[in-house]
Amino acid sequence: MPTPAGTLYRGREGMWSWVAHRVTGVLIFFFLLVHVLDTALVRVSPEAYNAVIGTYQTPIMGLGEAGLVAAIVFHAFNGIRIVLVDFWAKGPKYHKAMLWVVVGLFVVTMAGFLPRHLGNVFGGGH
C-alpha cells in the first residue's frame, strides 16, 4: 500500500470513518440546539408551536430531515464500532471489516426509513 506523502493521516477506512463521525456529530449538535428551541414553543402557546412546526413539514425540510436521520444512523452505528475497537480485544484487527458492517446496517436502516418517511412527506396526508 503506497503511503500518501505530506500528511500524518493515512486515509482509507480508519481516517474517513473518523472524519465522517466528526462531520455528522457537528451537524447533529447544531440541529439539536434548534430542535430544543422550537420544541420550547409548546410552553408559549399551541398556536405558536403549530405555526413553527408547520414550516418544518414542507417537502424541502422533509428532505433535510432525511439527511439528518442518515447522519444520526451513521453516527450511531459507527459509534458502536468505535466502542468495539476500544473495548473488544479483536476490535482493532477487524476495524475495517466493522466499517463495512456499519455501512451495510446503514443501508438496511435507511431502506426501511426512507420509503415510510418520504411517503409521509410527499404523500400529502394532511
Partner 1 sequence: MTTQSTIPTPRSPYARRKTTRGNYELYSWIFMRASGVVLLVLIFGHLWINLMVGDGVHAIDFGFVAGKWASPFWQIWDLLMLWLAMIHGTNGVRTIVNDYAQRDTTRLVLKGLLYLAFTIVVVLGTLVIFTFNPCPPDAPANLLPSICSTI
* Contacts with partner 1, 4-43, as mask; x by CB under 8 A: ------------------x--xx-xx--xx--xx-xx-xx
Considering only 6-14, 53-61, 89-97, 98-106, which stretch makes contact with partner 1 by CB under 8 A?
53-61
What helix, strand, coil percent values describe the chain, rounded to 5?
A: 80, 0, 20
How is residue 88 annotated by DSSP? Answer: S
CB 97 within 8 A of CB 115: no
CB 17 within 8 A of CB 81: yes
The answer to the question of residue 126 lying near partner 1 (CB under 8 A) is yes
Q: Which of 13, 65, 94, 95 binds partner 1 (CB under 8 A)?
A: 65
In order of 14, 16, 42, 59, 64, the CA distances from 87 in angstroms are 17, 21, 42, 42, 34
CB 62 within 8 A of CB 121: yes
Q: Which of 1, 5, 46, 60 binds partner 1 (CB under 8 A)?
A: 46
The answer to the question of residue 53 lying near partner 1 (CB under 8 A) is yes
| Site residues (vs partner 1, CB under 8 A) | 22, 25-26, 28-29, 32-33, 36-37, 39-40, 42-43, 45-47, 49-50, 53, 56-57, 62, 65, 69, 72, 76, 79-80, 82-83, 86-87, 113, 116-117, 119-121, 125-126
